Amino acid sequence: MIINCIIVDDEPLAVTLLENHISKVEGLKLVGKAGSAMEAYKLMQSLTVDLMFLDIKMPNLDGIQFLKSLSQKPKTIFTTAYREFAIEGFELEVVDYILKPVAFERFFKAVERVLRKTSFGIDDDFIILKSDGFQRKILLNDIVYIESQGNDVKVVLRGDKSVVSKSKIGDMEWVLQEKGFIRIHRSFIIHSKFATAYNQAEVLIGGLSIPVGRNYKKAFDSFVADISVKRLL
């Protein structure tokens, strides 16, 4: 899947560096460049933009003001020389916040988050997983739990069905965050709505017991407090 991206920055050297970085990453396609927020707005009227590399300090309208003004916001990575805007940037739910000059390693770490999420074809209601030579649409509401099996994941669905896909459980954890799923063990992610009981050591899903790993207890306790599995009991 190709991710169309634009660079919005008024510094020619910074633009050239980002162009070079983008050219090295398979899956990224640079479709436009803008030296100001208004130029970027015009570009976005005629182009499909999936990802925007956005500078903050620009003439007339800065990057934060510009992003706030957009009704439909593309995934955005701030690239800036100023640390002090980091908190406000993350409040806008940007993908990442990178300080200039942008090193390729730091650039790739940021775009990898977008590439991973896109590779699963995630939507609000489903994900796409490759299995047995097919791209399979999996409804999130049908996923009971996910189990790591070496280099694969087994996605167990309602109705005693399952799909095995060559994916990493860490990637699944990332794309399913804030969608009712919680990783409770290095090998298991559960869908909270299917939990029927729990204690500090295990979660019951029907008649199945899934262990809570020692390194995941804190995250699980926080999840219980926020999402409240107790409501299911």
CATH number for 200: 2.40.50.1020
212 and 169 together in one domain: yes
104 and 145 together in one domain: no
207 and 227 together in one domain: yes
Establish whether the linkage from the previous residue to 59 is cis, with ω within 30° of 0.
no
d(CA 27, CA 36): 25
Q: What is the pLDDT of residues 154-195, one digit of tens each?
A: 999 999 899 999 888 988 888 887 788 999 999 999 998 898
Q: Residue written as tokens 């029927």?
A: 196
Cα dist. 77→31, 39, 81 in Å? Answer: 16, 18, 13
105 and 182 together in one domain: no
109 and 151 together in one domain: no
Domain boundary among 63, 95, 119: 119
d(CA 33, CA 158): 46
110 and 8 together in one domain: yes
Q: Residue written as tokens 């919005």?
A: 8
157 and 104 together in one domain: no
Q: Are 52 and 26 in contact (CB under 8 A)?
A: no
pLDDT at 87: 66
Domain boundary among 96, 119, 142: 119
Which long-range CB contacts under 8 A does 137-143 form with residues at least 24 apart?
Answer: 138/163, 140/176, 140/179, 140/180, 140/191, 141/193, 143/181, 143/191
User: Which range of residues forms the domain containing residue 68?
Assistant: 3-119
115 and 142 together in one domain: no
108 and 177 together in one domain: no
d(CA 108, CA 33): 19
The one-letter amino acid code at 138 reads I
Contacts of 192 (CB under 8 A, 6+ apart): 180, 181, 182, 223, 227, 229, 232
pTM: 0.59
Domain boundary among 69, 94, 119: 119
The burial of 110, by beta-carbon neighbours within 10 Å (0-12 exposed, 13-18 middle, 19 or more buried), is given as buried
Domain count, the chain: 2
Q: Are 43 and 74 in contact (CB under 8 A)?
A: no
141 and 86 together in one domain: no
Average pLDDT value over all residues in the chain: 87
Query: What confidence category does residue 89 fall into, taking pLDDT thresholds of 50, 70 and 90?
Result: low
Query: What confidence category does residue 88 fall into, taking pLDDT thresholds of 50, 70 and 90?
Result: low
CATH number, domain with residue 85: 3.40.50.2300
- For 201, list phi and psi in degrees, rounded to 5: -110, -20
pLDDT at 232 over 70: no
pLDDT at 226 over 50: yes
Q: Are 204 and 169 in contact (CB under 8 A)?
A: no
17 and 112 together in one domain: yes
77 and 139 together in one domain: no
d(CA 130, CA 56): 38
pLDDT at 227 over 60: no
Q: In the predicted model, what is the mean pLDDT of residues 28-42?
A: 95
